[in-house]
Amino acid sequence: MVHILLAIIYLAFISLGLPDSLLGAAWPTMHLYFDVPISYAGWASMIIAACTIVSSLLSDRMTRRLGTGRVTAISVGMTAAALFGFSISRAYWMLLLWAVPYGLGAGSVDAALNNYVALHYKSRHMSWLHCFWGLGASIGPAIMGAAITRGMGWSGGYRIISVMQVVLTAILVLSLPLWKNRSDAAKSETGKPMSLGQIIAVPACRAFLFWHYSGTGCQRIRHFQVQ
């Protein structure tokens, strides 16, 4: 059972990486469809990144209330809905609205799974975890490129990834019994959850936020946790 759960967590991180590079791969086509400047990708990326940070900071509280398994399933489901929303968007402002659940879903699952693996598995699994995220981030643009070149368009690429996320959501829901006992153990191993104000007051957190928004870091780094 332990190995099955670990495989599901790895699969979740592949899924987590899949949407992260889609906007950059699809935007050269998307901005023509929406008839907006190519620089407008920045607004969508900024909304996704901001919502990701907010949900990451609130992840600990949500995990304690719902458990890692439920948070992961809900977050992946939100991402699936947001990707489908991207695929049916017919105006730029619709894209910006769907960017909100896109970011909120990504942040919570990232922080929750990082924390879960840190508590319950050996350190080498953390390295593999982020390796699988990189695998997903590499596969995503390939799927988008194939969809565009085969006539499905950028919307078809987003729809394919959305379906993949829906399948993973179903797998996560079915796997919830595997998380239960370990989630309860995690609550006893960690202290009282910090408030948002307390988290922001941590110097490392402020440095991370500056790094994230200043552009000196990677485009979508969300692996910061306060324990």
pLDDT tens, residue order, the chain (227 aa): 557 888 888 888 888 888 888 998 999 999 999 999 999 999 999 999 899 888 888 887 888 888 888 888 998 999 999 999 999 999 999 999 999 999 888 887 888 888 888 888 787 788 888 888 889 889 999 999 999 999 999 999 999 999 999 999 999 888 888 877 554 444 444 456 666 666 666 666 666 555 554 443 433 333 333 33
- Between the alpha carbon of residue 74 and those of residues 89, 106, 165, the distances in Å are 22, 10, 11
3-state DSSP call for residue 106? helix
The span from the CA of 225 to the CA of 134, in Å, is 19
Backbone phi, psi, residue 142, to 5°: -65, -40
Pick the CATH number of 2-214 from 3.40.50.2300, 3.40.1160.10, 3.40.1030.10, 1.20.1250.20: 1.20.1250.20
CA 185 to chain centre: 24
Name the nearest CA neighbour of 112 among 72, 80, 79, 166.
Answer: 72
Every domain of the chain and the residues it spans: 2-214
Can you read off the two tokens belonging to residue 33?
Answer: 């469809």
Q: What is the pLDDT of residues 10-44, one digit of tens each?
A: 888 888 888 888 998 999 999 999 999 999 999 99
Which helix H or strand E contains 60, and what residues bound it? helix 59-66
Can you read off the two tokens belonging to residue 194?
Answer: 């910090």
